[in-house]
Structure 1
Amino acid sequence: MSAWRSGDGDSLYDVLAEDVTFSSPVADYHGRPNASHLLGLIAELLEEVDQTGAYGDERDGVYAFTARVEDRRVQGIVREERAETGELTHVTLFLRPYAALRTAIGRMREALERSPLPARA
């Protein structure tokens, strides 16, 4: 959440496990290079990120937030699963409403055309 609020997606790489999985609303992506890249692009896409809730413990956290994608407001949930070492092993993103999700998907498609995944998906 802090990386998305600050727009600093580069800070995520070191907290991700080598074999991390990122589950987006569209697909699952595996490995630190791909997950870090996608989470960084999302940090650039989301504006005015405001965390509205936090639940869980040091191994499994769920964070609610609101944000803006272009002129659309989104509500989201991020679930983070961590290893005993503290590294993120699985990150799942949920976004709503559907119209805002479609806008976000279109923006991510454009971002990935400009900056493709670093590793074969």
Structure 2
Amino acid sequence: MTGTDSASGRPVPRRLRDHFGVLGLVYLGVCAVLLGWALVVTAADSSGESMAGVIPLLATAPGSLVFLVLPDNSAMFFGAVAIGAGANAAIIGWCTRALRRGGRPGSAS
């Protein structure tokens, strides 16, 4: 695999940066670190009373809270965090592009 998208010919990291923006990608990285931290803390807690999973959910709210009402299992937890982080990163990227464009009329993208 060459790491390029066959539809546009641009490398995948470039397409991600174009879609999410640098700040959106940083946000996704922070969410991934928080999720990893929560998993480590929860696994190390022998009492089973760890509330570390709340932190990634709050970091990816409100999208993650919408999907949290789905059936209770670990796959839904990861799905809620992933969907919430992706939606928030897309919004951050959109806002970044709009602010960079400033008062100039831009394309309807």
Same topology, TM > 0.5: no
Q: TM-score scaled to structure 2, two decimals?
A: 0.31
TM-score by length of 1: 0.29
Q: Which has the higher contact order (CA 8 A, sep 6+)?
A: 2
- Which structure has the larger Rg over C-alpha atoms? 2
